[in-house]
Structures are given as structure tokens and as C-alpha cells.
Amino acid sequence: MSLWDFLRDPIGFLTTWFYGVLAGWGVAPGVAQAIGFALGSFILATGAMLFVMLLIWFERKVIARIQDRIGPNRIGPWGLFQSVADMLKIFTKEYITPIGVDWLPYNLAPVLSVASVLVVWAVIPFSITFYGADLNVGLLFVIAIASMGELAIVMAGWGSNNKYALLGAFRAVGQMISYATPMVVALLVPVMMAGSLSLNEIVQRQTVWYILVSPVAALIFFIASIAEVGRSPFDLVEAESELVSGFNVEYSGLKFGMFYVGEFLHAFTAALLFTTLFLGGWRGPGAEQIPILGFIYYVVKTGIVYFLTVLIRGSLPRFRMDQMMDLNWKLLTPLSLAVLLVTALTNKLLEGLALGWRVVVLILLNGLVLWVVNGLLQRYERRRVRREVTSVRRPVARPQQGGAE
Amino acid sequence: MNALQIIFLVVAAVTLASAGFVAGARRTMHAALWLVLTLLGVAILLATLQAGFFAVVQVLVYIGAIAILILFAVMLTRGLTEEQGAVHHRWWWLAALAAGGVFAVALVILNRWPGFQVLLEELPREAEAMTDWGLALVDPMRYLIPFEVASVLLLAAMVAAIYLAMSRPGGQS
Amino acid sequence: MWSDWLYVGMFFVVALFLPAAAITIAGILAPKKPNPAKQAIYECGMETVGEARVQFKVQYYIFGLIFLIFDIETVLLYPWAVAYHQMTLFGVLEAALFVLILLGGLVYAWRKGALEWV
């Protein structure tokens, strides 16, 4: 019990201290645990939701730089408090509830869309001592809970009594379930290498980052997670030019704000998961002895991944619906299956080899798989009969000759 | 009664009630949404029974895929999405009686089984290890044949579904 | 295991409570002055025509079906992946066969044109 103990592992220190205090008061261990859980989950969830304000500021700043603007710069240093001001404003905005909405789905949707993302934070290992629940099916839990987000979107679209909202919602769900296919197949690779579904154990057994073992699986997961979030280039859910704004057109005030918070939180959570599964989570030199160091590594790695997604969001144009579906079903899904097969077979065949050599072989094979699948698909693309893209010429309104002036 | 039993009973009651709403909802979409709550309740019940894997698979497959499929199917049907008249058939009490009878019979049969009254004990973390299961799936002495047959079955289901869904009235596919 | 699931359950309740509370607080703080024009459905800015709950195309359903098949497949593969390190090459080959059969299904769907979004 010293200052060093606290600095080394603040979360573990505080937890031990808290349970110690409760035990001192004569609280039964079961009740103490329940109180600890309630308090812990409350603090973590609130922290996550407040953290979104920082994310919004960061994203606006980066996107502004990409577009050669300055971005928020008035409130606070570098405009840091812009999001706080925005939040205060949105709290005082009127809820405009259009007529004919389906009350329960309409109001449940924004809550559920945030909750479905927030729950993922319950199983994420932030450092060797700082994690909520160490579920032995953690990874499947994370994938499963994403389906709650799909439901929230369906509810929003259905409840809004709006054709465009409904169309946007079903597009969103179609996209999410489609990209879930290559995602779950690609996630079999880290599970296979770690031999566990628990996120905690996946990190602990990740002596070699799994992005090195299977860069293609990592790439597939990265693309699929961007699509799951529904950000550019996969933001055809909210294609302004066709669907006005997607499933959340009819929402206003903080109900809209919740969808916004949900989206940003989802993007960041996807980056957290990518780091956990493919970039070694909190692993790094000295992270096991000094847990706070692991937490810092984790945040830095996640920050880099998140920066990449923002960069992609700022620079790529939107896919068309059929292109989006083609990319998923005709490239990512076969590729993920091929990578799974190749990784499983090679790793088993070369079991006697040292880990380093195995990784080198796996990287080379991953490249080979990517090259072969890409070649096959390009041959298919060349032979494919396409529908004519340009439309038939239609008469255009022009000023009548000699007509009424 | 401990906390776990209370949670179990509350969740079971919610599950049953929402199952009732599935049957009683006047809009198809509402019935589908109540069905999702029912499925979620079953998942939570599985989690309280320490079958974590099944709880997660329940959410993943039943809510994530099947319920979504049902929602798509609802959106395919025209006219069904509007408010319908009364959904109560004249003989609904007969159906309720039959359901109650089946439940009673099941209860009686279960009551004869000695394990029915044994209190659930907390299993060790390793008890649910999926390693054994995974090994059993590829062991020719155990579940290898069902495992491979399952894949053929899934293939057949996919082929049949695509064949049915893609065939147009004109006989062209 | 119970304690882990208890934590997840509590977290879920908190995660539902926080946004709900925020929305309620904002509802109290915000003004409420509804009028018919404001409450009209926005849609795309024009007056709405017809029923909002429109009929959808069959493509969504087909993709949903294919997704369902693959979902069940991968769920069966997860226990296999967990046991991967304890397995012989034979076990891996069996799973490869399992995946290849389903890959056949994907090829069928592709050739049949079920993967086209038209």
C-alpha cells in the first residue's frame, strides 16, 4: 500500500480498497460484490458516454484538416469544449414527434442503439487487471450483441412512419447482416490461434500479434467493422441524396443525439475490438508488471486504428448498393473462407516449426491467397455481363421554339 | 430463495408474457418485435443456467438471423402490416386449455425425474470449456458424422431456399 | 461464471438506463410547443403520399437466408476453433471439408444469380 502501488495499477488498487472498506463495514461478500459491480458498470458506462464528446471533437478536427479547414477552434483550447457546448444545446432542443409514430419502438430505438454498443465495454480487457467480466464466450457475446443494434435500427425505421426511414433501416440491416458473414469467419482465425473465446485470454496468449499471423483476416475484420458501423464508404444507410438521412430522419433533439452518440461509440468500440483481437490488446513491454502501462499501450493502439477509420471516412466516396453487396459476398466472404482454410491447414502442418518461421510462412501464404482470389475475381469481373449503366436517353425539357414567351 | 432464483422467475415471467403478446399483437410487426423479446428472455434464462455458449448462440442465431429474416418476411407481405381486426378466435379458450394441459403433463413428467428438484450448483469455469465439444465434433467415434451431415443439410437448405426464392412465375429462374 | 454474467446483466441495465435517463432529462428541459405543421411527417420535404410501411423486394430476404446459413455454420465452427490446438491434422481436414461444402453453397448462390442486387 503505497503511492507506487496506486500509480502502478489505479483501478486494481481502488477496487481492492473499495472492497476492503465494504468488508470493514460488515457487508456480506455477495452484497459487496453486487454493489461493486453496479458502481463499476455505472462509472464505466458513464465514462464511455462522456468520452464520445472527445471522439466527436477529434473526428471533426481530423476531417476538417483533410478538407483543408480548421474545424472547431473557438471554445476552449483548439476548440476542445465545442462538444460540451453542443451537448448543452442539444439537451434543450424540443422533441418533435411526428404524427403516426409507433410509440414504443420509436422511443426505444435510440436507447437500444446506444445500449447495444455500450454493453460491449463490459467484456473488453483494458489492462491485465482492468476488465469487467471475463466471459468464456466473450467474443461470441460481442458479435451477438451487435444484432441488438440491428433491431434498434429496424425499430427506428418502422416506428418513424416514414418511407425513407424504413428504406434506410432495411438497407442498414441488410448491410449489417451481410458484413457479419465474413466478419465471423475472419474472427475464427484469432480464436483458432488463441484456443479461447474469452477476450482476456485471447490477449494473454497473443505472443505474436495476430495481424502478423493473418493480415488478410485482420483486413477483412477491419473492413467489415467499418461496414457494421455504417460509416463512409459504407454510409449508404444515410445517403442524403436518396434517402434524405436514413432511419433517423424523424428524430430530433437528444433522441437524434443518441443515434449520433451510438454511431461514434460503435466506431470507437470497433477500433477497441480490432486492437484486442489483432494488435495484442494491452500487450507491450512491461505491461504485465505495470498494468497502467498496458492501459496506455491499449489506448495508443486503439487511437491509431480509430485515426485510420476517420481517415478512411474522410477520403473515400460512398459505395452504391450493389457494389457494397458485391464487395461483401463476392470478395470478402470467399476470401475469408479461403484464409481460414489456409491458416488452419498450414499452422497444423508446420506445428513443429518455430513460431517465428511459422509466422513468416503464414504472412507469405496470406499474400498468396489474396493474390489468387483477387486474380480469380478479376477474371470473373472481365467476363461478367453487366447491365447497361447509362440510362436510355429521355427527352429533356427545353424552351419551346416559337412558343409563348 | 436466492437472488438468482428471483432473477430467473422474473425473466421467465417476462418471457411468457411477451410470448402471449406475440399471439395477441394486432400488427405483424409488433408480433415480430415481441418475439424478439421472448427469444432474448430465453437467452437470459440459458445464461442463468450457466449455459453461456447457448445463451450467446440463441442471441446470435435466433435474434441476429432468424428474427431479422422474419422482419424481412413481414416487409415482403403486402397489406399484412396494417392494423387487423380482432385477433381472438371464438375458440381461443380451447387453445389455451390445450396449452395448459400440455404444460401440466410436462410438469407431472418432469416432477418424476429426480434431477428436477436438485438445486443448481455453480459449475467451475472449466466445465463449460468448448474444447471437449470441439474435439468431439471431429472425432469419428463421436459426432463427426452429424457434423458433416449438418454441413450437407445446410447446403441443401441454401440450395432449396435460393431455388424457391429465385424462381419467377414464368418458370424462369 | 455467475458473477461474470451478473456483471454483464447489470451493465446491460445501466446501458439501457443511461440513455433513457438522458432522453428523459432533455425532455423535461426542452420546450414543448407542438403544432400540426411541425408534427407532420418530414419524409423528403414534400407532402407524404400513401402508406409509409411499403412493400420490400425479395432480395433482402434472400440475403437474409444466405446469412442465416453461414451464421449457423460459423457457430458450429467456433467450438472447433477453440479446440484447434488439441486437434490432429485429420480434425482440421474434416473442418476443411465442412467449409468446402458450404463454399459450394456460396458458389451455387453466385451462379444462380442470388448474389446480384438488382
Residues of A in contact with B56 (CB under 8 A): 137, 140-141, 144
- Dihedral, CA of residue A121, residue A127, residue A132 and residue A138, to nearest 10: 70
Are B154 and C78 a contacting pair at CB < 8 A? no
Give the pLDDT of residue B98. Answer: 94
- Whether C116 maps to a domain, the answer reads no
Q: A131: which strand partners? A: A125
User: Strand, helix or coil at C42?
Assistant: coil
- Alpha carbon distances (Å) from B150 to A140, A345, B153, C99, C100: 21, 22, 5, 11, 13
Mutate to test the interface with B, among C57, C112, C116, C117 (most CBs of B within 10 A): C112
Give the pLDDT of residue A403. Answer: 47
The parent domain of residue C95 ranges over 2-111
Distance (Å, whole) CA A150 – CA A116: 9
Cell of A179: 458484413
Distance (Å, whole) CA A283 – CA A285: 7
- Alpha carbon distances (Å) from B94 to A330, B60, B87: 52, 35, 15
- Alpha carbon distances (Å) from A96 to A322, B21, C47: 34, 29, 17
Are C60 and B72 a contacting pair at CB < 8 A? yes
- Whether C31 maps to a domain, the answer reads yes
B65, C101, B29, C54: which is closest to A178 by C-alpha?
Answer: B65
Give the pLDDT of residue B15. Answer: 94
Distance (Å, whole) CA B99 – CA B103: 6
Do A261 and A164 reside in the same domain of the chain? yes
Average pLDDT of the residues of chain C: 83
- A196 to chain C, minimum CA–CA distance in Å? 5
Give the pLDDT of residue C44. Answer: 67
Owner of C-alpha cell 403544432:
C35
Owner of C-alpha cell 452429424:
B146
Q: What pLDDT, in 10s, does the model give residues A177-215?
A: 889 889 999 999 999 888 888 888 888 888 888 888 888
Are A161 and C22 a contacting pair at CB < 8 A? no
User: Strand, helix or coil at C65?
Assistant: helix
- B103 to chain C, minimum CA–CA distance in Å? 29
Residues 6+ positions from B44 with CB-CB distance below 8 Å: B11, B55, C9
- A206 to chain B, minimum CA–CA distance in Å? 19
Are B158 and C62 a contacting pair at CB < 8 A? no
Mean pLDDT throughout A305-317?
A: 90
Do A14 and A75 reside in the same domain of the chain? yes
- Alpha carbon distances (Å) from A191 to A183, A200, A252: 13, 12, 42
- Name the residue of chain C whose CA is nearest to B46's CA: C5
Residues of C in contact with A197 (CB under 8 A): 78, 82
Q: Is C113 on the interface with B (CB under 8 A)?
A: yes
Cell of C39: 408534427
- Please state the three-class secondary structure of chain A as a single string: CCHHHHHHCHHHHHHHHHHHHHHHCCCCHHHHHHHHHHHHHHHHHHHHHHHHHHHHHHHHHHHHHHCCCCCCCCCCHHHCCHHHHHHHHHHCCCCCCCCCCCHHHHHHHHHHHHHHHHHHHHCCECCCCCECCCCCCHHHHHHHHHHHHHHHHHHHHHHCCCHHHHHHHHHHHHHHHHHHHHHHHHHHHHHHHHCCCCHHHHHHCCCCCHHHHCHHHHHHHHHHHHHHHCCCCCCHHHCHHHHCCHHHCCCCHHHHHHHHHHHHHHHHHHHHHHHHHHCCCCCCCCCCCCHHHHHHHHHHHHHHHHHHHHHHHHHCCCCCHHHHHHHHHHHHHHHHHHHHHHHHHHHHHCCCCCHHHHHHHHHHHHHHHHHHHHHHHHHHHHHCCCCCCCCCCCCCCCCCCCCCC
C-beta separation of A91 from A113 below 8 A: no
Do A83 and A219 reside in the same domain of the chain? no
Do A21 and A128 reside in the same domain of the chain? no
C-beta separation of C69 from B154 below 8 A: yes
C-beta separation of A93 from A251 below 8 A: no
C-beta separation of A140 from B60 below 8 A: yes
Do A282 and A232 reside in the same domain of the chain? yes
- C12 to chain B, minimum CA–CA distance in Å? 12
- Whether C64 maps to a domain, the answer reads yes
Angle (CA) A307-A310-A316 rounded to 5° is 135
Question: Taking each helix axis from N to C terminus, what angle separates A253-278 and A82-91, rounded to the nearest 10 degrees?
Answer: 140
- Whether A145 maps to a domain, the answer reads yes
C-beta separation of A130 from A12 below 8 A: yes
**Residues 54 to 93 of C: which have CB under 8 A from any B CB?**
55-56, 58, 60-62, 64-69, 71-73, 75-76, 78-84, 86-87, 90-91
Are A112 and C27 a contacting pair at CB < 8 A? no
B73 Cα distance to chain centroid: 18
Residues of C in contact with B76 (CB under 8 A): 55-56, 58, 60-61
φ, ψ for residue A349 (rounded to 5)? Answer: -65, -35
Give the pLDDT of residue A4. Answer: 77
Cell of A55: 471522439
Give the pLDDT of residue A218. Answer: 92
Distance (Å, whole) CA A370 – CA A374: 6
- Name the residue of chain B whose CA is nearest to C113's CA: B166
Mean pLDDT throughout A390-405?
A: 58
- Whether A244 maps to a domain, the answer reads yes
Q: What pLDDT, in 10s, does the model give residues C96-115?
A: 988 888 888 888 888 887 77
- C118 to chain A, minimum CA–CA distance in Å? 7
ipTM: 0.89
Give the pLDDT of residue B171. Answer: 45
Distance (Å, whole) CA A194 – CA C85: 9
Residues 6+ positions from A330 with CB-CB distance below 8 Å: A377, A380, C110, C115
Average pLDDT of the residues of chain A: 84
Largest CA distance in chain A: 98
Q: Is C35 on the interface with A (CB under 8 A)?
A: no
Q: Is A380 on the interface with C (CB under 8 A)?
A: no
- Name the residue of chain A whose CA is nearest to B129's CA: A136
User: Strand, helix or coil at B134?
Assistant: helix
Distance (Å, whole) CA A175 – CA A236: 9
Last residue of a domain, one of A29, A61, A92: A92
Residues 6+ positions from B121 with CB-CB distance below 8 Å: none
Distance (Å, whole) CA B102 – CA B94: 12
- Whether C8 maps to a domain, the answer reads yes
Do A85 and A129 reside in the same domain of the chain? no
Which one is predicted more confidently, A151 or B119?
A: A151
Residues of B in contact with A141 (CB under 8 A): 56
Are C1 and B50 a contacting pair at CB < 8 A? yes
The parent domain of residue A5 ranges over 1-92
Cell of A280: 495484442
C99, C78, B155: which is closest to A338 by C-alpha?
Answer: C99
- Whether A360 maps to a domain, the answer reads no
CATH of the domain at C52: 1.20.58.1610
- C62 to chain A, minimum CA–CA distance in Å? 10
Do A186 and A81 reside in the same domain of the chain? no
Give the pLDDT of residue B172. Answer: 44
pLDDT > 60? residue A308? yes
Angle (CA) A163-A166-A167 rounded to 5° is 85
Are C113 and B166 a contacting pair at CB < 8 A? yes
pLDDT > 70? residue A394? no
Distance (Å, whole) CA A362 – CA A339: 10
DSSP for B53-95, written as a single string: HHHHHIIIIIIIIIIHHHHHHHHHSSSTTSPPS----TTHHHH
Mean pLDDT throughout A223-242?
A: 81
* Cross-chain CB nearest to A118 (options C7, C15, C71): C15
Residues of B in contact with C74 (CB under 8 A): none
Mean pLDDT throughout A218-224?
A: 92
Number of domains in chain A: 2
* Cross-chain CB nearest to B154 (options C73, C94, C113): C73
Which of the four pLDDT bands, split at 50, 70 and 90, describes residue A219?
A: very high
Distance (Å, whole) CA B12 – CA A14: 37
* Cross-chain CB nearest to B33 (options A105, A143, A144): A105
Number of domains in chain C: 1
- Whether C118 maps to a domain, the answer reads no
- Whether C14 maps to a domain, the answer reads yes
Q: What pLDDT, in 10s, does the model give residues A107-123?
A: 889 999 999 999 999 89
A77, A369, A54, A107: which is closest to A255 by C-alpha?
Answer: A107
Last residue of a domain, one of A291, A318, A345: A318
Last residue of a domain, one of A92, A118, A147: A92
Q: Is A49 on the interface with C (CB under 8 A)?
A: yes
From the first residue on, what is the mean pLDDT of each consecutive set of 10 residues in chain B (173 residues)? 83 92 82 90 88 88 88 73 61 87 92 78 65 80 85 87 70 43
Chains with at least 3 CB pairs less than 8 angstroms from chain B = A, C
Residue type, A110: P
B165, A248, A1: which is closest to C57 by C-alpha?
Answer: B165
Do A84 and A143 reside in the same domain of the chain? no
Residue type, A395: P
C-beta separation of A233 from A318 below 8 A: yes
